[in-house]
Structures are given as structure tokens and as C-alpha cells.
Homo-oligomer: A and B are copies of this chain.
Amino acid sequence: MIKRLGKYTLEFEDGIGITGYGAVAGKKESEGMLGGNFDKIIYDSYAGQKTYEQAENVFQQEAFERALSRANKKAEDVDMIFAGDLLNQCIGSSYGLKSFGIPYLGIYGACSTMAEGLIMSSVYLASGAGSCCACVTSSHFCTAERQYRFPLDYGGQRTPTSQWTVTGSGSCVLENSKNGIKISRALIGKIVDYDVKDLNNMGAAMAPAAAVTITDFLRDTKTVPKDYDLILTGDLGEVGSKCLYSLLEDDGIDLKGIHNDCGLMIFSRERQDVHSGGSGAGCCASVLCSTILPDIEKGKYKNILFVATGALMSPVSSQQGGAIPAIAHLVNIRK
């Protein structure tokens, strides 16, 4: 069962175990800071398929299969799978996962999807509805770029605030397990709109959502940043991370020294031309499942906050003058 702490925080009384995880990434990611951590590198952007969208399906399948294998489970052991991605109508997930024959609930949280999937899986398991759940998400530079921005051949100049969409996927298998890595608390974010309209500055658009979510969680749980080994945001990048520090400072919350951002971790911003950092639903998913969860398992971290952020606009809403509404979901992971 779940208890409520304060206004928004959910507490899983016995914790929900993350018993398996898998992360798959592309060539550019393999050349970044975490290259050695991924379970598999797919060097071909097409992953042997005819289109980039079909390649993204393969990334999801491979990540999910690695998560299954680490949990020592088969697809038929999984009661429910929560999945989504950035592609219109979430075809990365529906085509990627259809062959597994698992009851499927599609979710859409843009780049916050990994945290959304972890929360939904945890709620599902806490309700007694099942004993084994999974979540998956992905992004692919080539599918995202051509859907959200420009044709790939166009070679448009990128602004310094822009981020580079990660080609990668992450997946977790969750169970009602008392040992190992556990989700102990979570907070489901509200949609926050600070009227940022620059599509090349997603970090600035999403930082306010992260600030609201972190503030709500710390207030609800009566904790401070120093109570955690790491506060890890999804993909704010350099610009968004600075916005976040500034917004939280106004509330007297200092994240420096405790905060990192998946968008800042995955690439080498010195060697690789990614401007403000990495982004995409596959960014925080693949960083979490390749690096952070193993580090928790090894004891490097004992108590972290994973705060995945998402920008909920579309090219159409932007063309119609809409600002970028954002959301941040938080998962407290411990060992």
C-alpha cells in the first residue's frame, strides 16, 4: 500500500524493488562519458532496419530484453508494461513492444517518461495488481530531429542553448522485492508553464517544473538536499541546470555539489558538439539504467532523487504560438 506524505508525495511502505535494468545506446553515446557502461552499443543508426523509426523499436526491444535478463525473468513473467517515447503516437513503443504479448499501457511524459513509468509501475505493484512490472522508453537523434526540428539533410545551425537528442533506450523490471535497489517515495509533477517559447532552449522551459517538483518533495518529506547522495535531473543540460539553481536559490534551496544532470553526464561537452548537453526520453533512461542503478547496487549511492523532466509541447502547438509547458516527476531510489 501507499501512504501520502504532505500534499503530493507518495511513500511505498515496503519499497518497490528495481530487480532488473538495461540500457542500450548509439555510436555517439558510446564515444561520450558513459560509453563503457551501456549493456549494448548499436553502432548502426538504422539498427539493421529500413528506417530510423524502426531502429528505435529495436533499441526498446534490446533494452527491455537486458532488463528482463538481469531480473532473471522472461517476457511472460511480466504482468504489465508501461512504455512511451517522443514519436508521434508513441510508435517507438507500440511497434517496439508488440511482439512480447504483455498487457500494455501507453504513457506520454516526453523526456520525463522514464520517471513516469517507474512511478506507474510502483503504484501498480503496490496496489496488488501484479507481482512483476516493466517500463521502457527511448529516443533517437534521427527520429526526433526530423520530427521536431529540421530534415536531417538540412544541416541547420544549432544555437548554443540547444541540446542533442540521445539515441538510446532504458528499461527497468520492478517487483515487490524487499532487497536490493528500491523505490521508496515518488512525486507526480504538475504541468508548469513559465511562458518560455524558445524551442532551442528546452532546459530553460523545463527547469521551472523541476524546481516546483523538488521544492514540493523536500517540503512534503521535511528533508533537505544534503539528505541525499545525488539529486539527478533528467535532461536540463547546462542552461537548464543553471536556471534550476537560480530558481531554487530564491527558495533558499542549494543544490550545488549534490546535483547532476543526465544531459550533462552522457556526452563529453568538450569533445562532442552537443552544446548545452544531451536530451530526449532515452537520455535520462539510459543514464539511469547504465550508470546510476549499477552505482547504487555497488554502494556508491544510498539515497538519490531521480527527477526526470519533460517538455509537453508539439511542433504544432509551437507554430500556433503556444509556450512550452513542462513537467517533472520525481522518484526516490535507495539501497
Residues of chain A whose beta carbon lies under 8 Å from any beta carbon of chain B: 1-4, 8, 10, 50-51, 53-54, 80, 84, 86-91, 94-95, 97-98, 101-110, 116, 119-120, 123-124, 126-130, 147, 187-193, 312-317, 320, 322, 325, 327
Contact of A116 among B1, B106, B147, B187 (CB under 8 A): B106
**Shortest Cβ gap from A127 to chain B (Å):** 4
B116 with A123: CB separation less than 8 A = no
Contact of A95 among B91, B192, B322 (CB under 8 A): B322
A120 with B105: CB separation less than 8 A = yes
Copies of this chain assembled into the complex: 2
A314 with B91: CB separation less than 8 A = yes
Contact of A313 among B91, B193, B315 (CB under 8 A): B91
Chain B residues whose CB sits within 8 angstroms of the CB of A130 once the complex forms: 4
A312 with B94: CB separation less than 8 A = yes
**5 tightest Cβ-Cβ pairs between the two chains A and B:** A127-B127, A94-B312, A89-B314, A98-B191, A106-B108
Chain B residues whose CB sits within 8 angstroms of the CB of A86 once the complex forms: 89
Contact of A101 among B54, B108, B190 (CB under 8 A): B190
A98 with B314: CB separation less than 8 A = no
